[in-house]
Chain A
Amino acid sequence: MSAVASPARPGFSLPSLDKAAVWIVLAVLLLLAGLASDAFFKLNYLTNLVRQAAPVGIAAVGVTFVMLLRGVDLSVGAIVSMSAVVCALVMDGKPENLWLGVAAASACGAAIGLANGLVIAHGKVSAFIVTLGMSIVVYGLVQMGTGGTARGIVSPGFREVLNSRIFGNVLPVLVICLLAAVAIGIFLQSRTRFGRGVYLVGANPEAARLAGLPVTRITVVAYIVSGLFAGLGGLALLARTGVSGTNPGAGMEFDVLAAVVLGGTTFAGGRGSVGGTFAGVMVLFIALNLANVAGLPFAAQLTIKGLIIIAASAAHSWIGSRGGGRSQQ
């Protein structure tokens, strides 16, 4: 070992295995997919695949923050449903309500996140239980709001704009939305005091308290971020499908969780990144698309999803135990 690197020389080193793993998997999977069907190498197919991934991807950006914090958010599926339904109800088919609908849906997501965060941070209740309970509460509210049938109509222009393609009719607007969400997430994560706080609290909550960090506030804000991004994910879903349905986000929390874990953000906290989550989302959707291409039924795709969560967790904890958390005393 040498003395500490000079700050003038940023000391480029190879990314560690746990950070690179998901990107390697993504590259290999893309290659395999291309061999299975040359559609995967067509720009149109690829951009469409990313477009499909937008709702899950946007929600996953937010969930990454609570997972970095050793938490979890199982209510994102319900928030996606609520956001889509609220947005459609508020818009009510009127063009002048477009932004009001978007704002209302986002606010709903953030509010549910705030409720999650307050109970978890102040009530010292496990995040798993709180967000699971919250997802049931929110599903119930959505059912009451819709009366059990699909109601509400989106404003004219909402779908059209979000589903259009720009730059010579190539890049779907939803893909840009996803990339923007990821960029904002990366900025929050690595350039803000909040993002640093999330890593510190997630890595060692007691040490964070000793270092004078506002642990409670950081926790609450992280759940708000998770709820807000889930709300935005709901908007993306609404734009893609056009109808709010009664429960469009059902089960989406598992896709989100699978993607985040695949991306290297483990349940242990303090490790992982939004960038990794994006790669995780892509791996998940390519895998599911491959299953689709191979003609596997929906049930089999569910099984694959579950296995991915388990295998990715195992792989990351294996990598972590070999290289990441080695200590000497």
Chain B
Amino acid sequence: MPLLETHALTRRFPGVLALDHVDFAAESGEVHAVCGANGAGKSTLMNILSGTIHPTSGTIAIAGQPVAFASPADARNAGVAIVYQEFSSIPELTVADNIFLGREFRGRFGVVDRRAASRAAANLLGRFGIALSPDTPVGALGVADRQLVELARALATEARILILDEPTAVLSIAEQAKLFAVIRTLRQQSLLILYISHRLEEIFEIADKVSVMRDGALVATRDKAALISVELIRLMTGRDVSANAAPTPIDGQRRTVLSVSGLSEDGAVIDIRAGEIWGLAGLVGTGRTSIAHRIAGLRRRDGFSATLNGAPLPDDPAKALAAGVVYMTEDRKRDGIFGPLAVTGNATAASLGRFAPGGFLRLGRERAEAGEVLRGLRLVAASLDTPIGSLSGGNQQKVLFARALLARPKVLICDEPTRGVDVGAREEIYAVLRRLSAEGVAIILISSELNEVLALSHRIAVVRHGRVSAVMDNAGLDEHALLVAATGAGEAARPVVKLAGKGAIPAS
């Protein structure tokens, strides 16, 4: 009997079927990798298994017993523990304190018995082969060791099922080996480890079984031994890796709009022309967003300079915006939407000067112009007065596009424009980008989804270590060629590949 089993597990968010009748099974004593592209449903599945969100329908059974988790505490009590990407340990406390955080050992009069905690922690760490001293402050530890503390904390709850969400995202190769050794110990002790990762070579190294998710459904579960990397990519993307239809090339005589010097590894000046979609590809964490922020003046532009139509571009967000450089955030909730405010106010936030000559708002004009742009974007909302916070991700993104359009951009920087957006809205957003390009707006497109970059961009720049390492014409490029460029796979020492999107590098 499988240790963990789900039957027809389904989760529906408004407008999105995040999880679609998933029948998943895994045995104890195995490392079971779960992979898939962004939005494939991995996180939703793990969040349901760890009690953070509730399924719309379907059942979960552990060791044959049906379970229903009302809260993460319920899941923990049933033996499911999750270790997230982000660290939640408290640096000022010791390893032992962190492991038993919230479940401190109480001595007489309710005083915390730190010696007992320290002994218990040493015991626990020893049992799983984790070489850490329980009395070291966590702040003094390296990233990998902090990760192991998180792991120990999950294990201290007597977990039978351990979920690791991209555990190596922040680790170097040497640190990764340390983590893998611990994971192998856990496997020997009959735990089930659910391992979420984008890194194919890792999956091939550590996993016993691999489950692939796509568009909310479980596509396949295979033994690793019977799986080759090409097939895994095919399962993840739903198609054979092939060349995309590149966008129609723009004529080479267009004038340069944005000129950036000091950003390229070889010292060349980067010119972005009117109507050009300039894709910024590269692995997560290579500094793409930082480049975008610095071009838009949101951060100090150390190390490079930019000119817009020949004039120096000021590195102040309001001035860069006034000059026509518009940045669209990758994180709508954090610094994109004004949640409680109406759609109209959200759309005109970056162009208030035009709607408020002399400081007094022309509400009628504001509403008319915002309404027109939003209708062009096919916004679905009850009215222009609806608070943006109550719209779906795709519609929120359309309002942010309206904000960018109303600011009359000469250069539009889109950072992950389709993140958290459903498939229908995604196509509409592509159409908007193509239309803007046809109207002569220069677009810098940042995306972790290689097929998105390939389908839209005229030229593609590859970013490594915060700099542009290559600029390629998008003619005959495919995901594989792009990946090779992005990872420097041709070089002798090949770094570990981490992709947040579709496509991945073969292990061989």
Contact = CB atoms under 8 A, between A and B. Distances in A.
7 contacts: A4-B383, A193-B352, A199-B341, A211-B349, A211-B403, A213-B352, A325-B340
B318 to A, nearest CB: 4
B196 to A, nearest CB: 19
Interface in B481-507: none
Contacts of B389: 324-327
A11 B390 CA distance: 18
Contact of A210 (B327, B343, B352, B371): B327
Contact of A325 (B336, B339, B393): B339
A209 interface: yes
B356 A3 contact: no
Given A11-B384, A270-B340, A271-B340, A196 B361 contact: yes
Interface of A: 1-7, 11, 13, 190-197, 199-200, 203-204, 206-214, 270-271, 320, 324-329
Contact of B392 (A209, A320, A328): A328
A196 B360 CA distance: 10
Nearest to A320: B340
A196 B340 contact: no
Residue from the set B335, B372, B420 with the largest chain A CB neighbour count within 10 Å: B335
B420 A329 contact: yes
B385 A13 contact: yes
Given A5-B384, A210-B327, A325-B340, 18 more contacts: A4-B384, A11-B383, A11-B384, A193-B353, A193-B361, A196-B361, A199-B338, A199-B341, A200-B338, A200-B345, A200-B349, A207-B329, A210-B336, A325-B339, A326-B389, A327-B333, A327-B391, A328-B14
Given A193-B360, A327-B390, A7 B334 contact: no
Contacts of B308: none
A207 B336 contact: yes
A2 B339 contact: no
Interface stretch (B89-97, B146-154, B373-381): B373-381
B225 interface: no
B58 interface: no
A1 B361 contact: no
Contacts of A329: 13, 332-333, 392-393, 396, 420
Given A11-B385, A329-B420, A196 B345 contact: yes
Contacts of B99: none
Residue from the set A270, A325, A327 with the largest chain B CB neighbour count within 10 Å: A327
Given A204-B339, A207-B335, A5 B383 contact: yes
A192 to B, nearest CB: 6
Interface residues of B, number: 57
A203 B341 contact: yes
B337 A204 contact: yes
B376 to A, nearest CB: 10
Nearest to B388: A327
B375 A3 contact: yes
Contacts of A204: 335-339
Contact of A4 (B329, B356, B371, B407): B371
A209 B338 CA distance: 12
B382 A2 contact: yes
B179 interface: no
B316 to A, nearest CB: 9
Given A210-B298, A212-B322, A214-B318, A193 B356 contact: yes
Contacts of B191: none
A327 B364 CA distance: 28
B359 A194 contact: yes
Given A7-B384, A199-B345, A211-B350, A192 B356 contact: yes
A300 B349 CA distance: 46
B55 interface: no
B258 interface: no
A212 B317 contact: yes
B170 interface: no
Nearest to B348: A196
A1 B380 contact: yes
B159 interface: no
B359 A328 contact: no
A206 B293 CA distance: 13
B134 interface: no
B367 interface: yes
Given A203-B338, A270-B339, A328-B14, A3 B333 contact: no
Enumerate the 4 nearest inter-chain pairs by beta-carbon distance, A residue then B residue, closest first: A193-B356, A212-B321, A203-B338, A329-B393
Given A200-B349, A270-B341, A328-B392, A192 B360 contact: yes
B384 A328 contact: no
A190 B367 CA distance: 14
Contacts of B361: 190-193, 195-196
A191 B396 CA distance: 25
Contacts of A11: 383-385
B53 to A, nearest CB: 12
B338 A207 contact: yes
B387 interface: yes
Contacts of B339: 203-204, 270, 325, 327
B126 interface: no
A191 B363 contact: yes
B32 to A, nearest CB: 27
